[in-house]
């Protein structure tokens, strides 16, 4: 073990380095740090000019449900207007809302309506209609079973634990009820691990349907629940396929991937009071283009109600006897006669600023954004002959209804570039 | 005996910042003083980064005081309960077994590679193991979720329940999706393995050849030389391997988030779903910064990050103490 | 470095084996059995890699072609050209900064600090190495994107990733310079070398391969990181034009696309990006191997 000899003359001086030297060094480091921070700030504010090249790049981030649609819209819009390129990202509805609020991206995509949007000079612009399916894995049962928001809420809250629970059986048609009564297995609910607009949607459904729902509604409402979580819609589908007697909520774009699974018919009439259910066969609706559109339009009217922060058309059982009294203000509207809206439909929103802010939402970028969104709600949704466009079909969405388009035009007019 | 083996570092005197012709006269001492300071500044960079991170996190917490309930077992943001106990325990029960397994396997591989395998074989096999280190975690996560989890859920776990149910924690209901604690430990072991293997291999390789061969010459078998000469000699390196491996397993985020099933209650057995702090932070970041998150959400996540850093700090300090005490033992042993 | 011999014990020679006691025979037998069992552990490490690489390649290769890799057209959804350029640019910038900070810091720590201070600095470097990348990413978001006002940009991502990679380079430089044999160090200093002369002329050539290895390893780890970049950059469809432009990063691409429905064709993009990243990581590892083995021979002579 050799150690180096002290070099002559340096021993006494090294002692001084130990304390004062360290102090001066730390002082210099702190000064450099402050200069660096000030410089960074300076850099951010004065040198951050948008490039004056001819191509405008619109950054979009947010909902993973809207992402595939944005991806297929982007190149086609650039073919239509070669000056503008769309750069979509899938980071989650919460991020989309937050980044749009902070002016960090041009377009924020969200599955849920942002209720206090005007506070941060944002507007909600629905650009497509999506729906959510309730899938289950029940060996031996291939029919669509009937469920409604209340039952789903009770399952995910742990109040209903087995498939042959009398509350579930009461909602079924006689044939399905007999089959289901033989299944005494425990229900395995699957939830989303990541923050998700689908969870927002599903928890909203549960929240408005059952007064005993403990989790409220948000993109991570179910994070306090003990169920198995999977990442992404495809994760939920995979988990459902692997786990028998499971149930889960999946966005409609993933319908084609859910081989081996069946979706439920969801009731839009939650007339529940103290355990009694609507008689079998009443208003359990399978998702179809018509049903979903009807629901979307109802959602639109609710956008005007300040007490409904949820743009879902939760058709509650009126104010008649036996209606649930929920904190949202109770009651609701019955659907217009002849309409059978599918309850878990939602509008896919984009959030944009109403006037240029900061370095990303510049005047030219905002103008390009408005132009793009106008393209999206027209050519993006409809083929020239009026049928749904190829982009919409590819992701299994429903094109916008005329009422929604009207609402959008109105909102877009309020944007000042 | 001047080979630079890491197990017995010499005391190296720091360079004088100026040449050896130093005297005490004023102008030169001022210059040399500065010359002494200047090199110290870049050395403080990691310290600076660490401090910056801690400051940013503390600022983000908004100094919300969650009290001691922050460590309780109830996590329910909606009802204002912010107990991260489940995640803390989850991080520990996934990282510690992963560390143990990766150390054991790493030791085995390193011993095989340095002692038993002919050079041309170990030359080719070692890089394969090192390759494990470079694979992005998200790729690990995808592979684990799609290929490994079904195998676990349908083959491995039923077999284990049938044959190993007498071990506490190995019986009980299985989660047929395959996600949960068991697969997370498996993946974390794989991710810590290249680190432990590399460090142990370096530690064993740095044993001086004469020490090794004298053991063999005295009539010991290869295994005995490894056990009684090489491993004690490389103790420091092996302990460093353990601490670095633990750090990797403890802090792994993306891969774990995809396969652990994200529960908020403690797992009932090894097959059950669980959660770790890093995974939970990553999953919930979107909610926290989103429009539907409460400001306390961000604070909770920032404080979770600080707890993570705190634990890493403690483990690091303990590690340093342990390793340096091993060093002094070695010196005294001479 | 001294490579232990693989020769067997002298006990294993023929003339001893037959006369040996039972205990000795047991010891020999045990050694032989272990000699077969331990190498089997390699399977535990290698089988997963093979499975993983096969799985990724099987999903990626069928749709990969030279055209896909080099196309930067915004009209082609699965064009890999823009992500590759973006990843390359970001890596280049981040690595430069990380090397600058880490190299200076590591050399300074190894050569100029007293053991006690060096201990603290090394501990903070070790802490940083063990920090989950999501925390570094979150720090980057809060500091650079929000506080500095840089928005989601190439610059924010670069600095954040550089902060993440610096500790690796730092540790490697530190280790490399402390393992310069002390007799060489003393010889240089004793011959009258100034500190900077020692570092430049003597230390660096000796430590160079190890430092280079460390840089490439830091790059391999950096290129696979998702969280820090997702939190500090916005994805781009065209190559970054200024430091404040959006930039497309391959790991982000994987994270965002793998969970989409296969009918959209997006998971294929994720697998393509994963495959390309694997190629990059393997190449970096191969380069590291080559450097190590070439310079190992050169260094053998340094050690008595």
Tens digit of pLDDT for each residue in C259-276?
Answer: 787 777 888 889 999 999
| Selected residues 228-257 of chain C with any CB under 8 Å from a CB in chain B | 231, 251, 254-255
Which residues are CB-neighbours of A132 under 8 A, at least 6 positions away? A198, A201, A202, A249, A250, A251, A252, A344, A345, A346
Which residues are CB-neighbours of A274 under 8 A, at least 6 positions away? A322
Which residues are CB-neighbours of C122 under 8 A, at least 6 positions away? C109, C171, C174
Question: Over 80: is that where the pLDDT of B15 sits?
Answer: no
- Which of the four pLDDT bands, split at 50, 70 and 90, describes residue A45? low
Quick one: what percent of chain A has pLDDT higher than 70? 72
Question: Over 80: is that where the pLDDT of A27 sits?
Answer: no
Quick one: what percent of chain C has pLDDT higher than 70? 90
Residue C163 falls inside a structural domain: yes
Tokens of residue C62, six digits: 């069928």
Predicted pLDDT of residue A12: 37
Please count the residues of chain B.
Answer: 334
Distance from CA of A79 to the nearest CA of B (A): 33
- Which of the four pLDDT bands, split at 50, 70 and 90, describes residue C212? confident
Residue B8 falls inside a structural domain: no
> What's chain A's average pLDDT?
75
Higher pLDDT, residue B276 or A28: B276
Residue B288 falls inside a structural domain: yes
Predicted pLDDT of residue A4: 41
Residues in C touching A68 (Cβ below 8 Å): 260-261, 264, 266
Among A266-280, B126-140, C40-54, C156-170, the minimum mean pLDDT is found in A266-280
> What is the DSSP track for A163-202?
TT-HHHHHTS-HHHHHHHHT--PBPEEEEESS--HHHHHH
Domain count, chain C: 1
Predicted pLDDT of residue B84: 83
Residue C28 falls inside a structural domain: no
Residues in A touching B289 (Cβ below 8 Å): 94-95, 98
Where does chain C have alpha helices with state H?
A: 14-17, 22-60, 66-70, 81-112, 115-130, 133-140, 154-178, 182-190, 195-197, 204-223, 227-232, 250-257, 266-300
Distance from CA of C188 to the nearest CA of A (A): 12
- The rounded distance, in Å, linking the Cα atoms of B110 and B197 is 6
Residue A61 and residue C235: Cβ atoms within 8 Å? yes
Rounded to a whole number of angstroms, the CA Rg of chain B reads: 25
Which residues are CB-neighbours of B220 under 8 A, at least 6 positions away? B228, B229, C9
A224 closest CB neighbour out of B10, B21, B264:
B264
Predicted pLDDT of residue A274: 39
- Domain extent, residue B52, equals 45-322
Higher pLDDT, residue B238 or B37: B238
Mean pLDDT on B220-229: 89
Residue B189 falls inside a structural domain: yes
In this complex, is the C-beta atom of C181 within 8 Å of any C-beta atom belonging to chain B?
Answer: yes
Residue B332 falls inside a structural domain: no
pLDDT (tens digit, 9 = 90+) per residue, C223-239? 988 888 988 998 888 88
Residue A97 and residue B29: Cβ atoms within 8 Å? no
Residue C120 falls inside a structural domain: yes
Residue A94 and residue B291: Cβ atoms within 8 Å? yes
pLDDT (tens digit, 9 = 90+) per residue, B236-249? 888 888 888 888 88
In this complex, is the C-beta atom of A200 within 8 Å of any C-beta atom belonging to chain B?
Answer: yes
Predicted pLDDT of residue B279: 87
CATH number, domain containing residue B195: 1.10.3720.10
Strand A262-263, strand A122-137: pairing: antiparallel
ipTM of the complex: 0.82
Which residue, among C5, C38, C91, would best test binding to B if mutated, counting the most B CBs under 10 Å from its CB?
A: C38
Which residues are CB-neighbours of B204 under 8 A, at least 6 positions away? B110, B111, B114, B115, B226, B230, B231, B234, B237, C4
- The rounded distance, in Å, linking the Cα atoms of B44 and C175 is 16
Question: Over 80: is that where the pLDDT of C182 sits?
Answer: yes
Are the beta carbons of A33 and B41 closer than 8 angstroms?
no
In this complex, is the C-beta atom of A34 within 8 Å of any C-beta atom belonging to chain B?
Answer: no
Which residue, among B258, B275, B286, B300, would best test binding to A if mutated, counting the most A CBs under 10 Å from its CB?
A: B286
pLDDT (tens digit, 9 = 90+) per residue, A246-301? 999 998 888 888 888 988 887 755 444 334 444 444 567 777 777 777 666 655 55
Residues in C touching B320 (Cβ below 8 Å): 119, 123
CATH number, domain containing residue C143: 1.10.3720.10
Helices (H) and strands (E) in chain A, counts: 13, 12
In this complex, is the C-beta atom of C274 within 8 Å of any C-beta atom belonging to chain B?
Answer: yes
Q: Which of C134, A67, A94 is nearest to B286 (CA)?
A: A94
- The rounded distance, in Å, linking the Cα atoms of A278 and A282 is 7
Residues in B touching C30 (Cβ below 8 Å): 221, 223
Residue C167 falls inside a structural domain: yes
Q: Which of C87, C90, C65, C91 is nearest to C78 (CA)?
A: C65
Residue B39 falls inside a structural domain: no
Predicted pLDDT of residue A314: 33
Angle at which helices C81-112 and C115-130 cross, to 10°: 160
Distance from CA of B77 to the nearest CA of C (A): 20
Residue C14 falls inside a structural domain: no
Residues in C touching A72 (Cβ below 8 Å): 77, 264
pLDDT (tens digit, 9 = 90+) per residue, B192-219? 998 899 888 888 888 888 888 898 888 8
pLDDT (tens digit, 9 = 90+) per residue, B161-170? 888 888 887 8
Q: Which residues of B52-75 are buried (b: 16+ CB within 10 A; e: fewer)?
A: bbeebbeebbeeeebeeebeebeb
In this complex, is the C-beta atom of C43 within 8 Å of any C-beta atom belonging to chain B?
Answer: no
- The rounded distance, in Å, linking the Cα atoms of B233 and B237 is 9
Question: Over 60: is that where the pLDDT of C294 sits?
Answer: yes
- Which of the four pLDDT bands, split at 50, 70 and 90, describes residue C298? low
- The rounded distance, in Å, linking the Cα atoms of C19 and C11 is 10
Angle at which helices B85-111 and B277-289 cross, to 10°: 130
In this complex, is the C-beta atom of A36 within 8 Å of any C-beta atom belonging to chain B?
Answer: no
Predicted pLDDT of residue B26: 47
Residue C151 and residue A231: Cβ atoms within 8 Å? no
The conformation of residue A117, written as its DSSP 8-state character, comes to G
Mean pLDDT on A361-380: 92
Mean pLDDT on C73-96: 87
Predicted pLDDT of residue A51: 44
Among B178-187, B232-241, C18-27, C82-91, the minimum mean pLDDT is found in C18-27
Mean pLDDT on B223-231: 89
Question: Over 90: is that where the pLDDT of A371 sits?
Answer: yes
Question: Over 60: is that where the pLDDT of A306 sits?
Answer: no
Predicted pLDDT of residue C7: 58
Distance from CA of B239 to the nearest CA of A (A): 22
- Which of the four pLDDT bands, split at 50, 70 and 90, describes residue A35? low
Among A125-134, A352-361, B66-75, C35-44, the minimum mean pLDDT is found in B66-75
- Which of the four pLDDT bands, split at 50, 70 and 90, describes residue B31? low
Domain count, chain B: 1
Question: Over 70: is that where the pLDDT of B296 sits?
Answer: yes
- Domain extent, residue C119, equals 84-249
Higher pLDDT, residue A144 or A2: A144
Predicted pLDDT of residue A358: 83
Tokens of residue A321, six digits: 């006897």
Mean pLDDT on C65-94: 86
Predicted pLDDT of residue B284: 76
- The rounded distance, in Å, linking the Cα atoms of C267 and C59 is 9
Residue C259 and residue A4: Cβ atoms within 8 Å? no
Predicted pLDDT of residue C13: 60
């Amino acid at each position: 073990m050799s150690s180096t000899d002290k070099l002559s003359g340096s021993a006494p001086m090294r002692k001084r380095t130990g304390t004062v030297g360290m102090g001066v060094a730390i002082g210099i480091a702190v000064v450099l740090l402050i200069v660096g921070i000030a410089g960074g700030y300076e850099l951010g504010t004065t040198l951050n000019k948008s490039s004056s090249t001819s191509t405008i790049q619109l950054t979009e981030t947010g909902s993973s449900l809207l992402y595939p649609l944005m991806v297929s819209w982007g190149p086609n819009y650039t073919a239509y207007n070669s000056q503008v390129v769309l750069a979509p990202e899938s980071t989650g509805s919460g991020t989309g809302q937050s980044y749009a609020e902070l002016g960090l991206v041009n377009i924020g995509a969200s599955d849920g309506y942002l209720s206090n949007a005007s506070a941060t000079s944002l507007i909600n612009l629905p650009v497509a209609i999506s729906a959510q399916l309730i899938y289950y894995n029940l060996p031996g049962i291939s029919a669509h079973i009937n469920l409604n928001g209340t039952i789903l809420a009770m399952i995910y809250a742990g109040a209903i634990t087995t498939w042959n629970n009398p509350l579930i059986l009461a909602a079924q048609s006689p044939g399905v009820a007999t089959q289901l009564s033989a299944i005494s297995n425990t229900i395995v609910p699957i939830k989303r691990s990541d923050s998700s607009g689908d969870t927002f949607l599903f928890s909203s459904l549960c929240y408005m349907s059952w007064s005993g729902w403990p989790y409220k509604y948000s993109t991570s409402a179910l994070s306090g629940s003990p169920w198995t979580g999977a990442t992404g819609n495809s994760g939920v589908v995979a988990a459902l396929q692997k786990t028998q007697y499971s149930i889960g909520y999946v966005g409609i774009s993933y319908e084609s991937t859910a081989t081996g699974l069946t979706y439920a018919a969801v009731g839009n009439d939650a007339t529940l009071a103290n355990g009694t259910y609507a008689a079998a066969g009443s208003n359990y609706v399978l998702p179809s283009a018509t049903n979903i559109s009807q629901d979307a339009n109802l959602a639109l009217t609710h956008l005007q109600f300040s007490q409904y922060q949820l743009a879902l058309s939760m058709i509650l059982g009126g104010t008649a006897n036996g209606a649930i009294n929920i904190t949202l203000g109770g009651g609701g509207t019955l659907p217009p006669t002849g309409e059978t809206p599918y309850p878990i439909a939602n509008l896919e929103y984009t959030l944009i600023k109403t006037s240029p802010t900061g370095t990303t939402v510049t005047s030219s970028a905002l103008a390009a954004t408005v132009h793009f969104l106008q393209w999206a709600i027209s050519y993006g949704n409809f083929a020239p002959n009026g049928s749904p466009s190829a982009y919409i079909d590819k992701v299994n969405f429903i094109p916008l209804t005329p009422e929604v388009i009207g609402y959008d035009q109105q909102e877009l007019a309020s944007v000042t570039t | 005996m001047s080979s630079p083996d890491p197990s017995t570092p010499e005391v190296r005197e720091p360079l004088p910042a100026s040449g050896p012709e130093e005297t005490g006269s004023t102008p030169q001492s001022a210059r040399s003083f500065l010359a002494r300071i200047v090199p110290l500044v870049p050395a403080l960079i990691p310290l600076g980064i660490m401090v910056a991170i801690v400051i940013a996190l503390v600022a983000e917490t908004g100094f919300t005081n969650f009290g001691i309930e922050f460590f309780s077992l109830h996590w329910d943001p909606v009802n204002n309960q912010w107990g991260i106990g489940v995640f803390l325990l989850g991080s520990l029960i996934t990282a510690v077994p992963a560390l143990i397994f990766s150390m054991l396997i790493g030791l085995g591989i390193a011993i095989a590679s340095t002692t038993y395998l002919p050079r041309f074989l170990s030359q080719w096999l070692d890089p394969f193991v090192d390759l494990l280190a470079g694979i992005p975690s998200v790729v690990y996560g995808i592979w684990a979720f799609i290929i490994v989890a079904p195998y676990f859920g349908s083959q491995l776990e039923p077999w284990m329940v049938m044959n190993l149910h007498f071990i506490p924690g190995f019986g009980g209901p299985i989660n047929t999706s395959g996600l949960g604690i068991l697969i997370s430990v498996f993946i974390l072991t794989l991710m810590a393995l290249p680190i432990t293997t590399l460090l142990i291999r370096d530690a064993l390789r740095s044993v001086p050849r004469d020490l090794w061969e004298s053991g063999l010459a005295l009539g010991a078998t290869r295994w005995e030389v490894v056990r009684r000469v090489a491993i004690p000699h490389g103790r420091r390196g092996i302990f460093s391997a353990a601490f670095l491996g633990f750090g990797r397993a403890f802090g792994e985020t993306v891969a774990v988030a995809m396969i652990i099933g994200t529960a908020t209650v403690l797992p009932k057995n090894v097959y059950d779903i669980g959660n770790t702090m890093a995974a939970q932070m990553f999953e919930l970041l979107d909610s926290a910064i989103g429009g539907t998150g409460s400001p306390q959400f961000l604070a909770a996540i920032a404080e979770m990050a600080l707890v993570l850093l705190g634990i890493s700090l403690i483990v690091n300090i303990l590690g340093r103490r342990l390793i340096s005490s091993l060093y002094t033992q070695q010196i005294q042993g001479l | 470095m001294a490579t232990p011999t693989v020769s067997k014990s002298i006990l294993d020679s023929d003339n001893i084996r037959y006369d040996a006691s039972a205990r000795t025979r047991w010891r020999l037998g045990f050694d032989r059995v272990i000699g077969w069992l331990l190498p089997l552990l390699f399977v535990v490490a290698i089988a997963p890699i093979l499975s993983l690489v096969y799985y990724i390649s099987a999903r990626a290769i069928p749709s990969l072609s030279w055209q896909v890799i080099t196309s930067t057209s915004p009209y082609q959804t699965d064009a890999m050209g823009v992500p590759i350029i973006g990843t390359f640019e970001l890596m280049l910038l981040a690595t430069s900064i990380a090397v600058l900070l880490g190299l200076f810091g590591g050399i300074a720590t190894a050569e100029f600090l007293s053991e006690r201070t060096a201990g603290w600095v090394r501990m903070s470097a070790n802490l940083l190495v063990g920090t989950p990348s999501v925390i570094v990413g979150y720090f980057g978001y809060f500091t650079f994107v929000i506080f500095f006002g840089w928005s989601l940009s190439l610059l924010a991502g670069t600095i954040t990733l550089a902060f993440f990679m610096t500790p690796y380079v730092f540790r490697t430089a530190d280790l490399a310079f402390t393992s310069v044999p002390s007799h060489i160090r003393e010889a240089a200093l004793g011959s009258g070398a100034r500190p900077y002369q020692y570092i430049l002329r003597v230390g660096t050539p000796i430590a160079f391969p190890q430092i280079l290895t460390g840089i490439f390893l830091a790059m391999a780890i950096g290129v696979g990181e998702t969280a820090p970049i997702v939190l500090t950059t916005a994805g781009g469809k065209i190559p970054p034009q200024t430091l404040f432009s959006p930039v497309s990063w391959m790991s982000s691409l994987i994270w965002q696309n793998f969970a989409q429905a296969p009918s959209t064709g997006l998971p294929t993009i994720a697998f393509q990006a994963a495959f390309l990243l694997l190629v990059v990581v393997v190449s970096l590892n191969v380069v590291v191997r080559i450097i190590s083995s070439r310079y190992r021979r050169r260094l053998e002579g340094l050690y008595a």
